Amino acid sequence: MQGFGYDSVYDVCIKEERILITPDLDFANIIRYPSENTSGIVLVRSKAKITIKNIPPLCERLAQIVVGHETRGMLIIVEDTKIRTRKPDTRIF
């Protein structure tokens, strides 16, 4: 991410209630970037390099995931053949 640090991007997404969609594995760190306070973090993992050519189908797949589904507080990992989700922590301390 050029120009903004990870913490800044994370904070802006929380403040502006935006879903963070990224291929960056740093955002999968639930200790440093907990998804509970976000509108959702979508981590895109693909064996294929993300290029201009494969962005449109990737965007279509992401839209199917986020439109009409609750993403608030979730970490969603989108891989080539599966989708994994981590719901907000509901443990009481």
- Average pLDDT value over all residues in the chain: 85
Measured CA to CA, the distance from residue 33 to residue 11 in angstroms comes to 10
**Which are the contacts of 14, defined by CB distance < 8 A and separation ≥ 6?**
37, 38, 39
In a domain, 80, yes or no: yes
pTM (2 d.p.): 0.80
76, 19 contact by CB (below 8 A): no
Q: Over the stretch 33-64, which tens digit does the pLDDT of each residue have? A: 999 989 999 998 888 787 888 788 888 888 88
In a domain, 38, yes or no: yes
What secondary structure letter does DSSP report for 30? T
Neighbours of 69 (CB within 10 A): 11
In a domain, 93, yes or no: no
In a domain, 1, yes or no: no
80, 48 contact by CB (below 8 A): yes
For residue 75, give its domain range.
6-86
Measured CA to CA, the distance from residue 19 to residue 73 in angstroms comes to 10
User: What single-letter amino acid sits at 79?
Assistant: E
Q: Over the stretch 1-14, which tens digit does the pLDDT of each residue have? A: 455 689 999 999 99
In a domain, 92, yes or no: no
In a domain, 66, yes or no: yes
In a domain, 21, yes or no: yes
In a domain, 82, yes or no: yes
Q: How many domains does the chain have?
A: 1
